[in-house]
Amino acid sequence: MPLPDAPRRTRRWRLPAALALVAAVLLPAVPASAHDFPTGSSPKAGSTVTAPLKSVSVTFDEAVLTYGRGSTVLRVIGPEGRHFETACPTVTDRTVSVTTRLGGSGRYTVSWRVVSADGHPVTDSLAFTYRAPSGTAAAGGSTDGPACGAGTGAPRAASSSGTSGVVVLVAVVGGLLVLLVAAAVVVAVLLTRRRG
């Protein structure tokens, strides 16, 4: 014979059970925020370049944000610690690139600082080896590289109809999911009170 208060105890568990069900269904659909990471580069990390190199680029998994001049940094440092990037970097959606004129043969390091799609700065580097073709004039490089200034102002996505559009879509879908969870909570509370 069931206890007299069994129905009341059953009703007491309906709201937590409903909330757990909603969370289990909806929350996995919300993507986790993560920093941008490189998915490719030109030249590739660890590769050997045997032809004159006019530019270096790094491509990331998400759109790179820009805060204006100087917020994105891409440096090409030669064997003796001199800079061989010849201009400030440019950002096109997920790719950051810079023009270059390399010096003599040796190991070159490409280092960068970008603002990832989640708004956080990301820094890293890669290296490649350059074997200058015979007859190629070696550039002298510079001590500090181009003066690109400091970035100011609000961040903005680089011009693109690709990944930046995906970021906006994710934000919209995330907002809709939050509204659905809130609506489910309200309905569950009202049903519990009505049957209580």
Q: pTM here? A: 0.62
Query: How many percent of the chain have pLDDT more than 90?
Result: 51
- For residue 132, what pLDDT is reported? 96
Calculate helix-pair angle for 14-26, 163-195, nearest 10 degrees: 170
Q: How far apart are the first and last CA of the chain?
A: 22
- For residue 177, what pLDDT is reported? 66
Sheet containing 55-60: order of strands: 38-42, 55-60, 95-99, 90-92
Tokens representing 107? 């190991």
Residue 76 has pLDDT above 90, yes or no: yes
Each residue of 82-130: pLDDT tens digit? 999 999 999 999 999 999 999 999 999 999 999 998 889 999 999 999 9
Q: What is the mean pLDDT of residues 36-51?
A: 96
pLDDT category of residue 50 using cuts at 50, 70 and 90: very high
In our burial notation (b when 16+ CB lie closer than 10 A, e otherwise), range 105-120 reads: beebebebbbbbbeee
Mean pLDDT estimate for the chain:
78
Nearest to 57 by CA among 82, 17, 87: 87
- For residue 67, what pLDDT is reported? 80
- For residue 29, what pLDDT is reported? 46
